[in-house]
Structure 1
Amino acid sequence: MPFRTRTAVRGAVLTTAAVLLCSAASWARPAAAPAPPGWSAAPAPGAGAEPGPQDRPYFYLEGAPGTVLSDRLSLSNPTGHTITVRLRGAAPGGWLSLASARVTVPPHTRASVPFTVTVPRDAAPGESSGSLIATGGRGSGAEGRDAVPVHLRVTGRPLSALTVEKVAVRGRGAAALIRYTLVNRGNTVLAPRLAVRADGLFGPVLRRAARALPTTLRPGQGVDLTEKWPDPPRLDAVDLRLTVTAGGGAHGSATATYTTAPWGAVAGGGLLLAAGVAGPVVVVRRRRRARGASEVPGASGMPGAAGAEGAGTAAGAAGDGPPPGGDRADAAGQLAGTGPGARS
């Protein structure tokens, strides 16, 4: 037992000594220098300093519509060979512009490339995003490409406004369509909502609550849209109203008239009405002409009697009832009949 204990202790001491010797050797040997990284692109720091971890990770610019803003992109090449980098801006509307599209950076140097941001005059107040893209050999990315984000804030008072224009109904029956145009008259992006109302001669014929349309409108943009009307009235005169709303208090409406009465039916009804009114007038005139022909003077051989009857006929033609003084006319006729000229 004592021999085994001494052997175990001796082994532990030797093991500890080996570990200590190895650690001391590793501390004495200098650490290997890390491999230099590839080139990189980043926002340029101020006062000509070199980019560092504490610098801004992206560009942030702010300005009113119509202004031109400027900044600088830094290209660092810590490698031992020259690199050539191609630059371009990626942003909606092309408001990013670089001073150079191709830059050569010598080994262990840094290049600063100016660029400008032109805020469009019709830009809507709010946030927009883009990026500066650098592409070259042996880059920091898998394909030698770096992209630096550019955030732009457009200042100004937001204005939300839109109009509804050119409202019309095309087709009849199941093929009827409501056509209209929406125009963004403000400076903000709008997501419109549409409500439809139609009233005929006998009451409401269409009610559609406001719902979101599958489109967005940029400032100044106009778009032509259609709305299906599956069951319009077959015989009616309809007043149609479209109402569109959007965020920020935008509101617009327009009306149109939709008449579904066929022109043939309207013309036929007018002809029937005219015939119904003109028919009795023609009959009355024909009857009056026949009565006047039977009472021509000299038809009975007695001028006196013919004159009296003619006077009676003229008085009767002036009205439907018995003429005033009818009894006197009859007495005059009787006296004329008993005169000397009446004897046989």
Structure 2
Amino acid sequence: MAARLRTAAPALLGPVLLPGLIGTPAHAAPDWTLAPAPGAGRPYVYAEGAPGTVLEDRLTLANPGAAPLTVRLGTGAWVALAATTVTVPPRTRADIPLTVTVPPGTPPGERTTAVTAAATRPAGRTATVRLHLRITGPAVAALSVEDVSTEGPTVRYTLVNRGNTVLRPRVELSADGLLGTAHRRTARTTPAELRPGHRVTRTETWGERPFLDSVSVRVVATAGPGTRADATASTTVVSRPAQAAALTSAVILLFAGIRRLRRSRTRPRATEANP
């Protein structure tokens, strides 16, 4: 049930006398209970709504004993209670309003949370009520590939889930140069799920790199029909043999230049004849 967000916590409903327990000896009284209101017929709280809505329900704290009961309440994500500490007189129950606020942008699907209660007087006992939430809305699958870069034989890229559904991307890596295809790897699934709003950075290593080429590296990611993204980065590939050959050529040219310089310095200069 949808409702406006409350600016203040609502007051607890007044204690209600539990029938049939008047005159019950304290030692024979059953334990206190925390359950969805009215306390029977619902094993857990169920709520359904779209992102940005506030859902309302109630819990019932019953004290069938002969002494007052005080409990401290705790909640999971999105849940707020009218009070976090409740005292219930003997042989009565109290209804505790609760609200569930679904954050805007929450992806559709199922969520589970809980409300816990721990007795402080008398101390020692706890109870838990589960809350099952169903977030409605259209499912949107969106994926992007970002920050593609290369460093030596390593290609680095980032996958980002831009939608509201969990994705298992498949990634294909290719490198095309001026001299043809430098590298190509068939698509394969990433080892982990990518949740909405999350990103993961991965690295790949080239198999056989070209000897010397200007290469465009392309990363293509898919996650089901209609969900596709790609990005590219350019780099100049110089293999170690090419580097060695370039260094050897540079050394040869350097020594040739030094020899020419020495020869030019030792050669006698021609003098001009007197007229």
Q: Pick which of 182-191 and 200-209 moved more.
A: 200-209
Matched, 1:243 2:224: no
What is residue 100 of structure 1 aligned with on the other side?
Answer: 83
Distance verdict in 2 for CA 1:110–1:196, change over 3 Å: same
Moved more, 215-224 or 155-164: 215-224
| Counterpart position of 2:70 | 84
Runs of 4+ off more than 6 Å = none
- Answer yes or no: is the 8 Å Cα contact 2:218–2:230 preserved in 1: yes
Superposition pairs of residues 43-62 of structure 1, within 5 angstroms: 43-45=36-38, 51-52=39-40, 55-62=41-48
Residue 162 (structure 1) aligned to one of 143, 153, 156: 143
Is the contact made by 1:38 and 1:138 (CA closer than 8 Å) also made in structure 2? no
Structure-2 residue corresponding to 1:277:
none
- TM-fit CA distance, 1:232: 3.1
Identity %: 50
Of Structure 1 and Structure 2, the greater helix share is in 1
The answer to whether residue 155 in structure 2 is matched with residue 149 in structure 1 is no
TM-score, L = length of structure 1: 0.58
- Structure 1: unaligned runs, 5 residues or longer: 1-33, 46-50, 273-344
Cα deviation 1:309-330 (Å, max 9, x = unaligned): xxxxxxxxxxxxxxxxxxxxxx
Whole-Å Cα distance in 2 between the matches of residues 78 and 199 of structure 1? 77
Query: Separation in 2 of the partners of 1:209 and 1:37?
Result: 65
Larger Cα-atom Rg? 1
- Count of residues in correspondence between the two structures: 221
Matches within 5 A, 1:235-274: 235-247=212-224, 249-261=226-238, 265=246
Q: 1: CA distance between counterparts of 2:30 and 2:186?
A: 61
Paired residue secondary structure (2:212): coil
Show CA shifts across 1:159-212 (max 9, x none).
Answer: 101110111111x2xxx3211122211122222222212233343332322222
Structure-2 separation of matches of 1:114 and 1:100: 8
Deviation at 1:61, TM superposition (A): 0.6
* Structural RMSD (CA): 2.9
**SS of residue matched to 1:214:** coil
List runs of 5+ in structure 2 lacking aligned partners. Answer: 1-26, 254-275
Shift of 1:155: 0.8
C-alpha contact 1:124 1:189 (8 A) present in aligned 2: no
Native 8 Å contact 1:167 1:179 kept in 2 = yes
Structure number with the bigger relative contact order (C-alpha 8 A, sep ≥ 6) is 2
Q: Deviations over 1:222-254 (max 9, x none)?
A: 333322335533422222211112246422111
Q: Is the Cα contact below 8 Å between 2:141 and 2:167 reproduced in 1?
A: yes
Any conservation in 1 of the 2:72–2:120 contact (CA below 8 Å)? no
Higher fraction of strand: 2
